[in-house]
């Protein structure tokens, strides 16, 4: 062993203490940063839950926030690492989105009279019968109603109801949460039963094509 690197016994302890002290500081900084990132992620889910105002599990909101971040980042050509959104990333997204999309809203197309409607996620039949008050479609847009549907809705006897107004991020979250809730809803089970569908089809309202 190189004797030049060996320190006298009385100098080793202070050096060891200094190293331990530095390690302690590094661990503290890492723990603080890690907790802060987790708190931020939780607070955005909670913020969305508060703004959207729909009762759903934290897991649903987390999935909705991740999905909205992914869609919006792709739309705006922003690179978000793993779409794990932080407060800074959320603010950057909001700023970019506000200038590009302006005011947006999430809407639902309700059925006014019982009749047959096209069903895009049904496997055993192309159309289903929907009754008054049932959901034909859940969507969101940043265009005006006229730009989205001109003056005529996609099928007869429908009622376009604006359920939530807000930023593009908020309405994407609202749409996702409502589509997820529809999957386990009593309304969906009734439509499936009434139209003799299989339990694994029509996972979305009949007028919805995909879950983005």
Partner 1 sequence: MVSLFAEKSNEQATLELYKTIQSLGLAKNVDISINNTLDAQSGLLFEDGKLVDISLANCYTLEDMITELIRLMGEYAVPKE
Chain contacts with partner 1 (rule: CB under 8 A) = 112, 144-146, 149-153, 156-163, 165
Here the tokens at position 4 are 């030049």
- If the CB atoms of residues 85 and 173 are measured against partner 1, the closer one turns out to be 173
Shortest approach of partner 1 to residue 57 CB, angstroms? 24
Closer Cβ to partner 1, 171 or 202, answer by number: 171
Residue 22 C-beta: closest distance to partner 1, Å: 58
Q: Report the candidate in 140, 141, 135 with the shortest Cα–Cα distance to residue 183.
A: 135
The nearer residue to partner 1, 155 or 192, going by C-beta atoms, is 155
d(C-alpha 166, C-alpha 161), whole Å: 15
Exposure string of 60-96, with b = 16+ CB inside 10 Å and e = fewer, is bbebbbbbbbbbbbeebeeebeebebeeebbebbeeb
**To the nearest whole angstrom, how small is the minimum distance from the Cβ of residue 158 to partner 1?**
7
Residue 82 Rama label (left phi>0; alpha psi -120 to 50; beta): left
Question: Which lies closer to partner 1 via its Cβ, residue 120 or residue 160?
Answer: 160
Smallest separation, CB 202 to partner 1 (Å): 24
Please state the closest distance from residue 138 (CB atom) to partner 1, in A: 14
Torsion over CA: 112, 118, 121, 125 (sign)? positive
Measured CA angle at 106 (ends 100, 166), to 5 deg: 50
- What is each CA distance from 78 to 29, 42, 112, in whole angstroms? 29, 22, 41
* 83 vs 160 by CB, closer to partner 1: 160
């Amino acid at each position: 062993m190189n004797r030049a690197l060996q320190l006298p016994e009385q100098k080793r302890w202070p050096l060891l203490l200094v190293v331990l002290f530095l390690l302690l500081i590094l661990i503290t900084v890492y723990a603080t940063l890690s907790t802060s990132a987790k708190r931020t992620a939780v607070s955005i889910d909670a913020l969305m839950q508060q703004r959207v105002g729909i009762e759903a599990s934290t897991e649903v909101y987390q999935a909705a926030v991740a999905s909205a971040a992914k869609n919006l980042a792709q739309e705006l050509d922003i690179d978000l690492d793993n779409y794990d959104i932080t407060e800074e990333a959320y603010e950057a997204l909001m700023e970019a989105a506000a200038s590009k999309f302006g005011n947006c809203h999430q809407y639902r197309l309700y059925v006014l009279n019982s009749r047959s409607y096209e069903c895009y996620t049904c496997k055993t039949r192309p159309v289903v019968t929907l009754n008054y008050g049932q959901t034909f479609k859940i969507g969101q847009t940043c265009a005006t109603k006229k730009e989205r549907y001109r003056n005529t809705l996609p099928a007869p006897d429908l009622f376009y109801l604006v359920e939530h107004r807000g930023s593009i991020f908020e309405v994407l979250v609202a749409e996702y949460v409502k589509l997820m809730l529809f999957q386990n809803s009593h309304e969906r089970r009734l439509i499936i039963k009434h139209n003799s569908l299989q339990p694994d089809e029509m996972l979305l309202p009949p007028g919805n094509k995909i879950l983005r």
